[in-house]
Amino acid sequence: MNWPAVYPEIALLAAACVIALVDLWSTDPHRSLTYWLTQASLAGVAVLQAVYFDQGLTHYAMQRMVVADPMGHLLGAFATIAVMVSLAYARPYAAERDMLKGELFTLSMFALLGILVMLSANNFLVIYLGLELMSLSLYALVAMRRDDTGATEAAMKYFVLGALASGFLLYGLSMMYGATGSLEISEVFRAINTGQPAKAVLVLATVFIVAGLGFKLGAVPFHMWVPDVYQGAPTAATLFVGAAPKLAAFAITLRLLVEGMLGLAIDWQQMLIVLSVGSMLLGNLVAIAQNNIKRMLAYSTIGQIGFMLLGLTPGVVSGNTVSASNAYSSAMFYVVTDVLTTLGTFGIVMLLSRRGHEAEFIDDFKGLARRSPWFAGVMAIFMFSLAGIPPTVGFYAKLAVLQALVSTNVAGYTTLAVIAVVLSLLGAFYYLRVVKVMFFDDPVDAQPIVASREVRTLVSINGLAILVLGIVPGGLMQLCAQAIVQMFAT
């Protein structure tokens, strides 16, 4: 047993249990002690993950069921930071809606624990264990406002469709186990490469696995839960659902499809192309018709996931893996920057909300530039980044994926790049509409924007990070490339 490989997960579990007990005796309605203990614990886990990533080593533990490698540590650090930022944004919002309870913090930590388990999985059972731990915690977070019928309905839809997705994934994994005789991802890879398992069974298993992953990512045609959950859930819960879990879904996609089933790349890459183009098309077209900004951002997320999936498709070209590291690192860069932008966007939505009023409609942003020029400018940066307009990081993320497609010198991938650009232009319309409403329409709400110094500072740093990473993206891109290269090395 190699205990250091699972120290981050052990530390997080211990901290979550201690914080749950401490909160039982807390009488502070602001939950200050619980909040700061949670943030300190998460900061410790993030530092531990960063130190492990810097060491660049790969360790196996628990009879090779768990792998601690640079890719898992990098995404783990980002996911932990995303949960820290989510809690900071959510705290004032939750306090005004009777949601600021110990459960908010402990459920967030258990959801993160599920994410970390998924990131370090080297076995089908561990992947499923982490997935269910994360999912059950998120279902509970969405339903935290029990007196809100919208939140309860969103939680039920999320639970039922999430269970369906888990069933798809579990069925596909069981078929893969039956065909290869192993639950260990590296052993599955070897079995597929020997050519002994029946190809028809492997392809059918791949179909179910890709369908399950499509549900968890929110890709078309498995996207049905995304708009309803984003709109119905309290905005704080929407942020938790829309940020860190994307990193986990991306990680298990890499673990299963790349580390385990690279020998079937010709099959699953075609499936991902269909999911990708469908997601970009439907996401960007339907978002244009939305008046609810949370629902608009849900369809935007579907389109963004489609673009990210596009980065996974040129990894293997004609049986050659030369472009693999470039393709997968560009997809990782894309999902990390998308999470960063999502955090800031929902942070602004919560900042404009107040007791008795949810800033859920695009009309709520009318005249924001007159009420607060700074926050209107920061929101504009987020919208420009989602649209892929320079000099924001969203532009470079899209450019990296397009470059990965075009550099294959295959006509089909070049055509996909052109389609992606055209569909991104469609998406620019609804992002720029928000900017137009903020700067050129008269405000319908003259109420001053009241927010704590912590949230104001965090939103500002979030916006500046989008700009800085757009101007000098090399550092983050290099980290992603390093993680992918070291993943392949093991």
Examine residue 325 and state whether it is found in any structural domain, yes or no: yes
CB contact at 8 A, 49 and 43: no
| Global model pTM greater than 0.85 | yes
Distance (Å, whole) CA 213 – CA 279: 14
CB contact at 8 A, 346 and 297: yes
Those residues with Cβ within 8 angstroms of residue 107's Cβ, 6 or more apart along the chain or in another chain: 137, 140, 141, 144
Examine residue 258 and state whether it is found in any structural domain, yes or no: no
Residue 1: per-residue pLDDT: 57
Radius of gyration of the chain (CA): 21
- Give me the phi and psi of 27, to 5 degrees please: -110, 0
Examine residue 146 and state whether it is found in any structural domain, yes or no: no
Sign of the alpha-carbon dihedral angle for 213, 214, 219, 222? negative
Distance (Å, whole) CA 325 – CA 388: 23
Count Cα atoms within 13 angstroms, Cβ side, for 95.
14
Place of tokens 């580390």: 259
pLDDT digits (tens, 9 = 90+) for 200-237: 899 999 999 999 999 989 998 888 889 999 998 888 89
Examine residue 327 and state whether it is found in any structural domain, yes or no: yes
- Give me the phi and psi of 59, to 5 degrees please: -125, 145
Residue 321: Cβ-neighbour burial (10 angstroms; 0-12, 13-18, 19+): middle
Number of domains observed in the structure of the chain = 1
Those residues with Cβ within 8 angstroms of residue 417's Cβ, 6 or more apart along the chain or in another chain: 402, 405, 406
Q: How many residues does the chain have?
A: 490
Residue 251: per-residue pLDDT: 92
Distance (Å, whole) CA 407 – CA 315: 11
CB contact at 8 A, 220 and 275: yes
Distance (Å, whole) CA 52 – CA 360: 40
- Tokens linked to 158: 């999320």
Examine residue 179 and state whether it is found in any structural domain, yes or no: no
CB contact at 8 A, 225 and 162: yes
* End-to-end CA, the chain: 19
Task: Find the domain containing 442 and state its range.
Answer: 268-490
Distance (Å, whole) CA 379 – CA 387: 12
Residue 450: per-residue pLDDT: 72
Examine residue 224 and state whether it is found in any structural domain, yes or no: no
Examine residue 364 and state whether it is found in any structural domain, yes or no: yes
Examine residue 18 and state whether it is found in any structural domain, yes or no: no
pLDDT digits (tens, 9 = 90+) for 458-480: 999 999 999 999 999 988 999 99
Place of tokens 């089909």: 412
- Tokens linked to 331: 């997809």
Ramachandran quadrant class, 6 (left: phi over 0; alpha: psi -120 to 50; beta: rest): alpha
Distance (Å, whole) CA 117 – CA 459: 29
Residue 356: per-residue pLDDT: 62
CB atoms within 10 A of CB 7: 15
List the helix and strand counts (H, then E) for the chain: 20, 2
Distance (Å, whole) CA 224 – CA 241: 15
The parts of the chain modelled with pLDDT lower than 70 are: 1, 355-356, 446, 490
